[in-house]
Amino acid sequence: MDELREPRAITRRQLLAGTGAFIVSFSLLGMARGQETPPAAVMPAPAPASPSALPGDLNIDPMLDSWIAIDADNQVTVFTGKAELGQGVKTAILQCAAEELKIDPLTIKLITADTVLSPNEGYTAGSMSMSMSGTAVRNAAAQVRELLIAKAATQLKADPTTLTAQGGQIVGGPQSLTYGALVTGETLHVNAQPTSKLTPTADFTVMGTSLPRVDIPGIVTGAVTYVQDLRPDGMLHGRVVRPPSYTATLADADTASIEKMPGVVKVIRDGSYLAVIAQQEWQAIVAMRTLARSAKWKEQASLPDEAHLPEALKALAVEDGTVADSNTTPTGVVQTFDASYTRPYQMHGSIGPSCALGQLGSDGVTTIYTHTQGVYPDHAAIAQMLGVDQTKVHCIHMQGSGCYGHNQADDAAADAALMARAVPGKPVRVQFMREQEHAWEPYGPGMVTHFTGGVDANGKIAQWDYELWSNSHNSRPGPPGALLSARYLATPFPQDPQVFSITPTGSGDRNSDPLGYSLPQKHVIWHFIKDQPLRQSALRSLGAFFNLFSMESSVDEMARLAGVDPVDFRLTQAADPRGAEVIRRAASSFDWAGWTPVPGRGRGFAFARYENHASYLAIAVEIAVNTDTGTVRLVRANAAIDSGEIVNPNGIRNQTEGGILQSMSWTLYEAVTFDRTRITSIDWQTYPILRFGGVPDSIEVDIVPQPGQPFLGAGEAAQGPTSAAIANAIRDAIGVRLYDLPLTADKVKAALLSVPAVD
Amino acid sequence: MSIQLNVNGQDETIDSATDTPLLYVLRNDLRLNGAKFGCGLGQCGACTVIADDQPIFSCVTPIMMLEGRKIRTLESLGTEEHPGPLQQAFIDEQAAQCGYCIPGMMMRAQALLERNPKATEAEIRVALEPNLCRCGTHMRIIRAVLRAVDAMAGA
Ligand code: FES
Ligand code: FES
């Protein structure tokens, strides 16, 4: 197992023992938190040990040694419970630790999400890695540095204010001591100071710089990077045979003849769960296909009518909740705007289908390498599915293809566990096929929204009534029924019912409270849909994408009613100066004021503060419409983002550019398709996404410096505003508002035909 | 059944069914991580490698069709210690998010640059059309290939 981490029997204590590791416990009191705690359903991590607010995820694990260890050889190890998803979090966390410890970030050993080695930081989701884990690591590192200085002062009989930390040493005049030399012995078990002495932005040498991503050289040269690249000696290849539809049950399958096929080691049939394990990967694929052909299923039509999805969603049973209510009635409304918007189910669509590697050891522990967003919740769910104690499942995060939320990573991990159980001692790598990833991933749910708004005689928003129909956008583990295969076993684990909860962070209702604007009246209702006609869960930005599409489209229409430029309209009603600043910057970077209309071209603008408490982002776009085909092309996009203190500007830019392009693809092209029984969008032809032909000429991202402010997290801020800016630009170009995603060429063409030609 | 393949300049004897797609042989038998499984259908380009001078989808090309052809993978472009010009350009532009699509992009770009060392931005966009990126790294990928054009011209 040369490519794998040491056998899982290793524990944190063993890892750190015998190396003079620096173990410190401390309690930080009275520190303001940068972020609100996400709802329990999103982050099922242990409750904070004390009610006092510590920086970031130090609340979840307040022990310093949970985050930082230094051994006698001066090796610094940093632990984070977050996972690298391609968002560059490893590099950014190393920067935080290196800045405060005053060492070279490339000398630090970084341990990411691992149920034995890392703190339990729940899910890597919601753009919270920097605000929660980055903040924890940075504060822990600053505390450690100050403890080392104090310790050195004693040993050197020096005034601590004359000592500095630099390059792994505490230096005072001609004398110096290495960190490693200072961390021996029990005496270093001390409580930290109540506040962290953080390095001021002006003194940054590592934070605030575009340190190149540590993983890119490996990615571009073919180093072992992804779960898919693991191939320990003796590894077998696993494939599942999924049912043809959600509610199908297995009637018959010819497992005996499959077992005789070349290379086949095992065929698993457990209720309606079917899988094959073979020596070679191609043998596993051939056996999977043969087994799939032999299988007989009982299917039933259980899906809604795709052609009338919005009506079908609205017809489902709902529970109503109030997201926001000013308890005022609209006054002075002179003109109103009323509209319904719809969104189909949309996919994560990872380029690499999900994969996991599992092995059942002789000690009864199943070790799983997985690209899950949550090793801890995943191992708990898998342990329940297997009917074993949680200590018997060890999940280790390793990179996969980008996931953008809850894709099938957890399902692959569960399958790896089931297959590993069938061939004890043997490592099994499970790889889903393209059509399995497309047909079975939990989609971003279909939604319907309705907006009624009005402006007063002063051209200001005077009325804001908004309703949304949506699932929760969350069916993550937790419960074992969240794992796909667990539902099909002979003793099945049914899926838990959806839980309705309205939280500040929001889920289906994310960003539906219009806090970005100062409004005299607002009323926002969530019609929570309990049933999940299609499998659904968290897709990057959850409900924010479609709520902001609806809301910022409506704001644009109200600006038209008021006869005010849409940028000015937003600026004069922005609730927060930081919001106003990104609006001004995006408009100026686009040269909004210098725009001259061109036939077939349009410009659009949108703005939001993600989750109402994370990054601020405004975006201006120019689009071109081919009036013959209806095809829309994004020509350029100019965004401005304020994500608090900047750790890595290039990383923020990369995430924002990516968010804009992905949101553009959702907005223009994407819809899950199905008949009454089966999902029919099962590959890239039936589910088209952005290709190079649709890539804009340019994307500019302006980052607002915010020295000393909390990290806000940048990964999802662009999703909502981009979609509305595009819709607003189409409206500008063709004079017709489109309400139903995706804004395909067919819909644009139909809209063009609906307007009488003007000579 | 065994087949002779020439991969990155090395002759290799492969003991696999002759209809096995090249991708699985590269990844498992030869332990080369560059080419990735994305769709197995010739729709995404994650598995792109070069055969002689043509980019091919290794996921749908059986090894029996490749005897006598010179196959090149990402690993032929350089190493982490000594990255080739295209690899260096992708590092310099930080042209990756999850990175899963990147090796396929690079091999398709490499084939283009060998054919057309002065490729323009428009030609690069057309050439990369078969390859998908879900992270939205496209702007950087284009910039990286343009940077490699400059680097190779200057070399
Ligand atoms: S994996 Fe070969 S084209 Fe997608
Ligand atoms: S970088 Fe993730 S798919 Fe392209």
Q: Looking at the structure, do residues B125 and B106 belong to the same domain, yes or no?
A: yes
Q: How far is B87 from chain A (nearest CA, A)?
A: 6
pLDDT for res A18 = 35
- CB contact (8 A) between residue A228 and residue B75: no
Express each pLDDT in A460-489 by its tens digit.
999 999 999 999 999 999 899 999 999 999
ipTM reported for the complex surpasses 0.90:
yes
- CB contact (8 A) between residue B38 and residue A85: no
pLDDT for res A684 = 98
Domain end marker among B76, B106, B125:
B76
Q: Looking at the structure, do residues A152 and A246 belong to the same domain, yes or no?
A: no
Indicate the SS3 state at residue A430. strand
- CB contact (8 A) between residue A215 and residue B99: yes
Q: Looking at the structure, do residues A408 and A464 belong to the same domain, yes or no?
A: no
Q: How far is B39 from chain A (nearest CA, A)?
A: 5
Rounded distance, CA A414 to CA A412, Å?
5
B95 Cβ inside 6 Å of ligand 2: no
Among B28, B39, B136, the residue with its CB nearest the CB of A683 is B39
Least confident among A48-62, A373-387, A635-649, A689-703: A48-62
The best mutation among B37, B134, B145 to test binding of ligand 2, ranked by most ligand atoms within 8 Å of the C-beta, falls on B134
CB environment A557-589: b (16+ within 10 A), e (fewer): bbbbbbebebbebbbebbeeebbbbbbbbbbbb
Q: Looking at the structure, do residues A424 and A522 belong to the same domain, yes or no?
A: no
Ligand 2 mean position, distance from CA A547 (Å): 26
Q: How far is A504 from chain B (nearest CA, A)?
A: 28
Q: Looking at the structure, do residues A265 and A402 belong to the same domain, yes or no?
A: yes
Is the pLDDT at B105 greater than 50? The verdict is yes
Q: How far is A663 from chain B (nearest CA, A)?
A: 9
- From chain A, the residues in CB contact with B129 under 8 A are 691-693
- CB contact (8 A) between residue A231 and residue B28: yes
Least confident among A19-23, A360-364, A422-426, B102-106: A19-23
Neighbours of A392 (CB within 10 A): 17
- Model confidence at A330, pLDDT cuts 50, 70, 90, reads very high
pLDDT for res B154 = 81
- CB contact (8 A) between residue A350 and residue B44: no
Check which CATH number belongs to the domain holding A387 and give it: 3.30.365.10
- B 41-70 near A (Cβ less than 8 A): 41, 43-44, 46
Check which CATH number belongs to the domain holding B48 and give it: 3.10.20.30
Is the pLDDT at A180 greater than 70? The verdict is yes
Alpha helix (H) ranges present in A36-171?
A: 89-101, 135-156
Rounded distance, CA A631 to CA A624, Å?
8
Is the separation of the CB atoms in B38 and B102 below 8 Å? no
**Which domain does B142 fall in, by range?**
85-154
Neighbours of B101 (CB within 10 A): 28
A451: which strand partners?
A: A339, A466
Is the pLDDT at A419 greater than 90? The verdict is yes
Q: Looking at the structure, do residues B42 and B67 belong to the same domain, yes or no?
A: yes
- Chain A, nearest residue to B27 by Cα: A229
- From chain B, the residues in CB contact with A652 under 8 A are none
pLDDT for res A275 = 98
- Chain A, nearest residue to B141 by Cα: A692
Rounded distance, CA A439 to CA A433, Å?
10
Among B19, B87, B134, the residue with its CB nearest the CB of A351 is B134
Question: CB contacts < 8 Å between A and B, how many?
Answer: 184
Ligand 1 mean position, distance from CA B23 (Å): 9
Ligand 1 mean position, distance from CA A484 (Å): 25
A69 DSSP assignment:
E
DSSP string, A176-226: EEEHHHHT-SGGG--PPPSS--PPPGGG-SSTTS-PPPTTHHHHHHT-S-B
CA-nearest residue for atom 4, ligand 2, is B133
- From chain B, the residues in CB contact with A226 under 8 A are 33, 36, 100
Rounded distance, CA B60 to CA B35, Å?
13
Is the separation of the CB atoms in B40 and B22 below 8 Å? no
* Residue B17 at interface with chain A, using a CB cutoff of 8 Å: yes
Q: Which ligand is nearest to the CA of B37?
A: 1
- Model confidence at A71, pLDDT cuts 50, 70, 90, reads confident
Express each pLDDT in B11-41 by its tens digit.
999 999 999 999 999 999 999 999 999 999 9
Domain assignment present for residue A338? The answer is: no
Q: How far is A13 from chain B (nearest CA, A)?
A: 32
Joined together, the tokens standing for residue A108 give: 């630090």
Domain end marker among A399, A423, A440:
A440
- From chain A, the residues in CB contact with B98 under 8 A are 85-86, 351, 399-402
* Residue B90 at interface with chain A, using a CB cutoff of 8 Å: yes
- CB contact (8 A) between residue A352 and residue B37: yes
Q: Looking at the structure, do residues B23 and B54 belong to the same domain, yes or no?
A: yes
Domain end marker among A181, A215, A249:
A215
- CB contact (8 A) between residue A658 and residue B97: yes
- Chain B, nearest residue to A657 by Cα: B136
Is the pLDDT at A76 greater than 60? The verdict is yes
- From chain B, the residues in CB contact with A683 under 8 A are 39, 41, 43
Express each pLDDT in A481-529 by its tens digit.
999 999 999 999 999 999 899 999 999 999 999 999 999 999 999 999 9
Q: Looking at the structure, do residues B34 and B51 belong to the same domain, yes or no?
A: yes
Rounded distance, CA A680 to CA A60, Å?
43
User: In the predicted model, what is the mean pLDDT of residues A283-287?
Assistant: 98
Q: Looking at the structure, do residues A245 and A207 belong to the same domain, yes or no?
A: no
Express each pLDDT in A252-276 by its tens digit.
999 999 999 999 999 999 999 999 9
pLDDT for res A398 = 95
- Model confidence at A192, pLDDT cuts 50, 70, 90, reads low
In angstroms, the first-to-last Cα distance of chain B is 44
Is the pLDDT at A190 greater than 70? The verdict is no
- Model confidence at A735, pLDDT cuts 50, 70, 90, reads very high
**Which domain does A590 fall in, by range?**
447-473+508-754
A88 Cβ inside 6 Å of ligand 2: no
- From chain B, the residues in CB contact with A219 under 8 A are 96, 99, 102-103
Mean of all residue pLDDT scores within chain B: 97
- From chain B, the residues in CB contact with A281 under 8 A are 24, 27-28
- CB contact (8 A) between residue B37 and residue A350: no
Total structural domains in chain B? 2
Q: Looking at the structure, do residues B70 and B95 belong to the same domain, yes or no?
A: no
User: In the predicted model, what is the mean pLDDT of residues A297-319?
Assistant: 97
Is the pLDDT at A33 greater than 50? The verdict is no
Q: Which amino acid is it at A454? A: G
Q: Looking at the structure, do residues A709 and A744 belong to the same domain, yes or no?
A: yes
| CA pseudo-torsion sign A379, A384, A390, A392 | negative
Rounded distance, CA A122 to CA A45, Å?
5
Ligand 2 mean position, distance from CA A222 (Å): 15
Could you tell me which residue, A326 or A188, shows the higher pLDDT?
A326
Chain mean position to CA A692: 24
Q: What residue ranges line ligand 1, CB within 6 angstroms?
A: B 37-40, 42-47, 57, 59
- Report the candidate in A685, A452, A220 with the shortest Cα–Cα distance to residue B89: A220
pLDDT for res A43 = 32
Express each pLDDT in A698-725 by its tens digit.
999 999 999 999 999 889 999 999 999 9
Check which CATH number belongs to the domain holding B94 and give it: 1.10.150.120
A236: which strand partners?
A: A428
User: In the predicted model, what is the mean pLDDT of residues A280-286?
Assistant: 98
- Chain A, nearest residue to B45 by Cα: A351
Q: Looking at the structure, do residues A549 and A618 belong to the same domain, yes or no?
A: yes
User: In the predicted model, what is the mean pLDDT of residues A289-295?
Assistant: 98
Q: Looking at the structure, do residues B89 and B69 belong to the same domain, yes or no?
A: no
User: In the predicted model, what is the mean pLDDT of residues A641-647?
Assistant: 96
Q: Looking at the structure, do residues A287 and A155 belong to the same domain, yes or no?
A: no
Least confident among A21-30, A153-162, A517-526: A21-30
Spatial strand order in the sheet of B70-72: B10-15, B2-7, B70-72, B48-51, B54-57
- From chain A, the residues in CB contact with B97 under 8 A are 86-88, 402, 654-655, 658
- Model confidence at A189, pLDDT cuts 50, 70, 90, reads low
Q: Looking at the structure, do residues B10 and B56 belong to the same domain, yes or no?
A: yes
The 3-state secondary structure of chain B, one letter per residue:
CEEEEEECCEEEEEECCCCCEHHHHHHHHCCCCCCCCCCCCCCCCCCEEEECCEEEEHHHCEHHHCCCCEEECHHHHCCCCCCCHHHHHHHHCCCCCCCCCHHHHHHHHHHHHHHCCCCCHHHHHHHCCCCCCCCCCHHHHHHHHHHHHHHHHHC
pLDDT for res A619 = 98
Domain assignment present for residue A585? The answer is: yes
* Residue B120 at interface with chain A, using a CB cutoff of 8 Å: no
Domain assignment present for residue A352? The answer is: yes
Q: Looking at the structure, do residues B53 and B111 belong to the same domain, yes or no?
A: no
User: In the predicted model, what is the mean pLDDT of residues A215-239?
Assistant: 97
User: Quick one: B7 exposed, middle or buried, by C-beta within 10 A (0-12, 13-18, 19+)?
Assistant: buried
The best mutation among A87, A226, A351, A371 to test binding of ligand 2, ranked by most ligand atoms within 8 Å of the C-beta, falls on A351
pLDDT for res A50 = 44
Rounded distance, CA A207 to CA A599, Å?
46
Express each pLDDT in A37-67 by its tens digit.
233 333 333 333 444 578 888 888 888 888 8
- CB contact (8 A) between residue B41 and residue A434: yes
Rounded distance, CA A234 to CA A685, Å?
36
Domain assignment present for residue A101? The answer is: yes
Ligand 2 atom showing the smallest separation from residue A352 Cα = 3
- Model confidence at A125, pLDDT cuts 50, 70, 90, reads confident
Mean of all residue pLDDT scores within chain A: 91
Q: Looking at the structure, do residues A185 and A255 belong to the same domain, yes or no?
A: no
- From chain B, the residues in CB contact with A286 under 8 A are 17
pLDDT for res A658 = 98
Joined together, the tokens standing for residue A233 give: 């000696």
- CB contact (8 A) between residue B44 and residue A262: no
Q: Looking at the structure, do residues A397 and A453 belong to the same domain, yes or no?
A: no
pLDDT for res A758 = 53
Contacts of A128 (CB under 8 A, 6+ apart): A35, A38, A614, A713
Domain assignment present for residue A203? The answer is: yes
Domain end marker among B43, B76, B109:
B76
Domain assignment present for residue A220? The answer is: no
Q: Looking at the structure, do residues B71 and B130 belong to the same domain, yes or no?
A: no
Q: How far is CA A357 from CA A287, A331, A353, A354, A428, in A?
A: 19, 61, 14, 11, 6
Joined together, the tokens standing for residue A395 give: 């999940």
Domain end marker among A194, A215, A236:
A215
Q: Looking at the structure, do residues B8 and B57 belong to the same domain, yes or no?
A: yes
Total structural domains in chain A? 3
User: Quick one: A267 exposed, middle or buried, by C-beta within 10 A (0-12, 13-18, 19+)?
Assistant: buried
Question: Where does residue B132 fall: left (phi above 0), alpha (psi -120 to 50 degrees), or beta otherwise?
Answer: beta
Q: How far is A231 from chain B (nearest CA, A)?
A: 7
Question: Where does residue A404 fall: left (phi above 0), alpha (psi -120 to 50 degrees), or beta otherwise?
Answer: left
- From chain B, the residues in CB contact with A215 under 8 A are 99
- Model confidence at A4, pLDDT cuts 50, 70, 90, reads low
pTM of the model: 0.93
Q: Which ligand is nearest to the CA of B22?
A: 1
Q: Looking at the structure, do residues B127 and B93 belong to the same domain, yes or no?
A: yes
Q: How far is CA B79 from CA A14, A336, B30, B82, in A?
A: 35, 63, 17, 5
Mutate to test the interface with A, among B139, B140, B145 (most CBs of A within 10 A): B139
Spatial strand order in the sheet of A76-79: A68-70, A76-79, A109-111
Q: Looking at the structure, do residues B52 and B109 belong to the same domain, yes or no?
A: no
- Report the candidate in A606, A583, A695, A706 with the shortest Cα–Cα distance to residue A652: A706
Could you tell me which residue, A622 or A59, shows the higher pLDDT?
A622
Q: Which ligand is nearest to the CA of A351?
A: 2
